Amino acid sequence: MAAGDTATWCATAERVPGEVRAAVTRLVDGARGDLAEVFYTHMLASPEAAVFLDHDVVHERLHSTMQRWLTELFTPFTADGAEAVIAHQRHIGEIHARTQVPVHLVVQGMRILKRRITEILQESALDPAAIVDAAQFAGDMLDLSLECMSEAFARSTERSVRTDEAYRLATATQNVAAERERQRAALLEWCQGVLFSLETREVPGPLAALASSEFGLWLAHKGVVMLGGGPELDSLTSSIERIDSILLPRLGTVGITPEIRRQLLSELQRELDALRFLLTTLFDRQQEFDAGRDHLTRLLNRRFLPAVLGHEVALHRTRSQLLAVILIDVDHFKHINDAHGHDAGDVALQQVATIVSDQVRAGDFVFRYGGDELLIVLVETTPEATRRIAEAIRAKVEHAELTLGAGSTARTTVSMGIAVSDGHPDPQRLVTRADAALLEAKAAGRNGWRTSG
């Protein structure tokens, strides 16, 4: 029988005497704080597991969450109750998939819990025969939980892989020739800015990093997906790192001689020539085709949001850069449809989408999230910068006269909910928090934004 079958869970419980099950429930519940402490002490000591955990999150949230899970797992249940427990294990497995926790770490955690529960049972007043039954029962329940989690993990991961590939294809559907020219221009603009700074500044100091430029942000957050990876992309990334970590700091030092300055500028030129060649090579590999975008607004389709957020949260863990989500709702959009017709409403939404897209950077993402809802993913941002962008969007939409055709115009406003990453590894939580903030903005009278607490 499958681990997701309620009959399996009930049969597992019924294989041991009721008094033994009651003893396990009592002992596990009484030691749940100790069990959580042992589990997270071990996990935080593991460099691999520590990537997904930190002491603050563990002690503020995860410690108590695990205690509640242990109580739920070993509390006696009926067939109906088993369904709820099974659903919870699957939910945990889906969270593990979204946060990309390796399966072997989950298995390792279950082994830690199983060993500690066995020790608690052996230290109890139960007779030897009951201890054997109790240890078997506890182990079986943990195994069933792990099977449910693993099944949900595999299913969710498979969906994510398919979506990631579809997103890669949709990203490649952009006009490759136009995108290539935009990024060439962005690269040239950065280069001219550095040269101008070198010629005009009076005091030596840090120069603008290429990785933080419009081109650098686009490459890190969109180019890596659009261009499909490979050794050329690795070489391109390495070239940027050499420019930012070696050449620019040396060019910005005090007392540099004219001869060394010329040598460094020559090296910089060679790196940029190589970078442009690699970029052209990668762009030339892409084909121009048109699919995977919202047909009306030309924004990214909502189904690619998990792929984008998963990628950005992974970057957030390694770069310690904040990301943010802004969820946007066009206020009273139904009034435009009712007054002018759905075709006019489509035209109005297109114009709002254009206003929103114009306020973000090349490395950011804009999605059509629903009928009249848009969603922005801001990369490498700050809370202040996010609020500035939200306010700019609000003001631009409020003052825009939307052309609907046939001489008709309309005005509208938007409400927005903002959520800035707080270190939580589940990317869906950002969207949930932004949605809650959006509801607050609408309740406060619309034409404004609220930030998730």
Largest distance between two CA atoms of the chain: 88
What is the structure's pLDDT at 288?
37
Tokens of 187: 């690269």
Count CA atoms within 13 Å of residue 328 on its CB side: 27
How many Å separate Cα 217 from the centre of its chain?
Answer: 16
CATH 1.10.490.10 boundaries in the chain: 6-168
In 3D space, the residue among 134, 126, 15 whose CA is nearest the CA of residue 74 turns out to be: 134
Q: At 62, is the pLDDT very low, low, confident or very high (cuts 50, 70, 90)? A: confident
381-409 tens-digit pLDDT: 999 999 999 999 999 999 999 988 767 88
> What is the sign, positive or negative, of the torsion defined by CA atoms of 142, 145, 151, 155?
negative
Q: At 298, is the pLDDT very low, low, confident or very high (cuts 50, 70, 90)? A: confident
Residue 369: C-alpha distances to residues 20, 174, 176, 216, 329 (Å): 52, 19, 24, 27, 9
Q: At 241, is the pLDDT very low, low, confident or very high (cuts 50, 70, 90)? A: very high
Q: What is the mean pLDDT of the chain?
A: 87
CATH 3.30.70.270 boundaries in the chain: 300-451
69-102 tens-digit pLDDT: 999 999 887 877 888 899 999 999 888 888 778 8
Residue 242 has pLDDT above 90, yes or no: yes
Residue 117 in contact with residue 38, Cβ under 8 Å? no
Q: At 311, is the pLDDT very low, low, confident or very high (cuts 50, 70, 90)? A: confident
Averaged pLDDT for residues 177-195 = 87
In 3D space, the residue among 35, 34, 33, 56 whose CA is nearest the CA of residue 44 turns out to be: 56
Q: How far apart are CA 65 and CA 57, in angstroms?
A: 11
Domain with residues 6-168, CATH architecture:
Orthogonal Bundle (1.10)
Which of 128-132, 282-286, 303-307 comes out lowest in average pLDDT?
Answer: 282-286
Cβ within 8 Å of residue 55, ≥6 positions away: 44
- 300-451, what's its fold? Alpha-Beta Plaits (3.30.70)
Question: Torsion angle, CA of 443/446/450/453, rounded to 10 degrees?
Answer: 10
Averaged pLDDT for residues 2-29 = 87
The neighbouring-strand residues paired with 375 are: 327, 367
Phi, psi of 413 (to 5 degrees): -135, 175
Segment (H or E) for 355: helix 342-358
Residue 438 in contact with residue 450, Cβ under 8 Å? yes
Residue 289 has pLDDT above 50, yes or no: no
Tokens of 58: 């563990």
115-126 tens-digit pLDDT: 999 999 999 999
Phi, psi of 312 (to 5 degrees): -70, -40
User: DSSP H helical segments within 75-213, as ranges?
Assistant: 79-98, 103-122, 128-172, 176-200
Residue 244 has pLDDT above 90, yes or no: yes
Residue 27 in contact with residue 120, Cβ under 8 Å? yes
196-239 tens-digit pLDDT: 888 887 666 788 899 999 999 999 888 887 776 667 788 888 99
- Edge to edge, the sheet with strand 449-451 lists 300-301, 365-368, 373-381, 322-330, 414-420, 449-451
DSSP reduced 3-state for 211: helix
* Pairing mode of beta strands 414-420, 449-451: parallel
